[in-house]
Amino acid sequence: MDLMEKVVSLCKRRGFVFPGSEIYGGLQGFYDYGPLGVEMKNNLKRLWWRFMTVEHENVVGIDGAIITHPKVWEASGHIKSFVDPLSECKKCHHRFKSDDILKSNDLKESKCPDCKGELTEPRNYNILVPTELGVIEGEKTKTYLRGEACQTIYLDYKNVLQSSRLKIPFGICQIGKAFRNEVTPGNFLFRQREFEQWDIQWFCHPSEMDKWFEYWKKERMDWYKELFNNPNNLIFFEHKKLAHYAKKAFDIQYQASPFDGSEIEGIHWRGDWDLNRHGEYSGQDLSYKDLETNETFIPQIVETSGGVDRTFLFLLLDAYAEEEERVFLKLNPKIAPVKVAVFPLVANKEDLIKKAKEIYHDLKFSNVTTAWDDRGNIGKRYFSQDEIGTPWCVTVDYQTLEDGTVTVRDRDTTKQERLPVDKLLSYFQNILK
Ligand code: ATP
């Protein structure tokens, strides 16, 4: 089994991620997060949210609707792309106007201009997922599930400004679902049809675009690097082909097997493109008035747009480790789905169980996600927790009843130390904060 197969299998076996609609044979490009997966994904999202809204000044969040007015997608340019037949590269998934790249009528002779991969037949693509609103057949309104989460930030920008005291420069961030009719979904969570994005749109004065672009580029790379065991596997990729409104564009890529250079997040120079387009299509004035200088202008936007699911997947690949006797996930404790597992040394001694349950409940109700296990022998319990990345296992033994200490076993070193029960919570909280 290669690394990806091992991770996919572990995800299903231990309840991180299940194939969507599996009992009906599955539905390509859809996955469900299981009990451990949802904990880990929530931990990740909480960290991101904290990074944006607590560790940065002038950043607020929204949670926009998944279905928007259909005109949004005309303004964004997503609907127009329907008109041109495109070929998609089966390897890097970039799309090209077929007219531009077809050298002859034989598609096999044409290769992807970016990576020389094989191309799909030219087709009229629209990656948006349509849906219909209304109950009367024949009178339904066609609209779309949002193809990218960021659009709702542009729609809400004026409302956010008017309802808060934000002044430029400021950011609006969001974590939310996006839906795309991907032509070639695959690679587990990497390319799905329903996925989650975390975005910030940073609104600033035109004269400060360069400064803020560089600022967010560094901020985001530093954030990812802290979560990975192998930060050197994260690199910047600079786009050479730019949208007409962009001066520069970078991706943060994960550069390790089996994903050699795959995007986690894009840092985009969007300029005033989006607000101008939505202003034009909605007929609303989306300009900003600086009350100190009296200057009125359309703010420029730096966007960072990343994938929650891709980060989740890359972190699992980065964390997967095998030793002679065990498989373990070397996850950063902050994102591990379970932080602590509590065991009574044996399952049939009432005193031990009572004390262990007390510790289990204390930790659990103090927001340290805690598991209970009293099955089999201690060694097996350790290995079972290792496989899901639990950083610490606490064992309550006979000595606990005498001197109020427990053993705390570290996932990565497998070393044990004795700690007083009343110091446990602060010990874990200090590392997790
Ligand atoms: P790609 O070139 O890989 O298709 P993209 O450039 O279309 O990605 P963006 O539109 O910039 O991606 O979306 C921002 C982020 O959303 C990406 O960096 C990625 O992490 C995530 N993302 C995009 N498409 C998918 C998908 N189909 N499945 C999972 N995550 C996705």
Cα 226 to Cα 252: distance, rounded to the nearest angstrom: 14
Ligand 1, pocket-test mutation among 96, 195, 267, 274, most atoms within 8 A of CB: 195
Q: Are 321 and 419 in contact (CB under 8 A)?
A: no
Q: Is 332 helix (H, G, I), strand (E, B) or coil?
A: coil
Residue 429 buriedness (CB in 10 A; 0-12 / 13-18 / 19+) = middle
Q: Is 123 helix (H, G, I), strand (E, B) or coil?
A: strand
Cα 140 to Cα 131: distance, rounded to the nearest angstrom: 10
Cβ of residue 337 lying under 6 Å from some atom of ligand 1 = no
Please, what is the Cα angle at 38 between 36 and 41, to 5 degrees?
Answer: 110
Angle between helices 209-227 and 308-319 (to 10 degrees): 40
Cβ of residue 305 lying under 6 Å from some atom of ligand 1 = yes
Q: Which residues pair with 83 in a beta bridge?
A: none
- What local confidence, expressed as pLDDT, does residue 258 receive? 87
Q: Whose CA is nearest to atom 21 of ligand 1?
A: 307
Residue 302 per-residue DSSP state: E
Q: What would the two tokens of residue 6 be?
A: 């091992």
Nearest to 246 by CA among 272, 208, 214: 272
The number of beta carbons lying within 10 Å of the beta carbon of residue 279 is: 18
Q: Is it true that the peptide bond before 19 is cis, omega within 30 degrees of 0?
A: no
Q: What would the two tokens of residue 43 be?
A: 């931990």
Cβ of residue 154 lying under 6 Å from some atom of ligand 1 = no
- What local confidence, expressed as pLDDT, does residue 170 receive? 98
Cβ of residue 310 lying under 6 Å from some atom of ligand 1 = yes
Cβ of residue 180 lying under 6 Å from some atom of ligand 1 = yes
Q: Which atom of ligand 1 is nearest to the CA of 94?
A: 2
Q: What would the two tokens of residue 59 be?
A: 């950043």
Q: What would the two tokens of residue 9 be?
A: 């299998």
Mean pLDDT by 10 residues, the chain (433 residues): 96 98 96 98 98 98 96 90 72 76 62 83 84 91 95 97 94 97 89 97 97 98 98 96 91 90 95 97 96 96 98 98 96 98 94 97 96 94 97 97 97 97 96 94
Cβ of residue 266 lying under 6 Å from some atom of ligand 1 = yes
Q: What would the two tokens of residue 430 be?
A: 């200090």
Alpha-carbon dihedral sign for residues 85, 90, 91, 93: positive
| Helices (runs of H) and strands (runs of E) counted in the chain | 12, 24
Please, what is the Cα angle at 92 between 86 and 96, to 5 degrees?
Answer: 20
Q: Are 215 and 339 in contact (CB under 8 A)?
A: no
Q: Is 335 helix (H, G, I), strand (E, B) or coil?
A: coil
Q: How far is CA 1 from CA 6, 91, 106, in A?
A: 6, 22, 37
Ramachandran area for residue 195 (φ above 0: left; ψ -120 to 50: alpha; else beta): beta
Q: Which atom of ligand 1 is nearest to the CA of 268?
A: 11
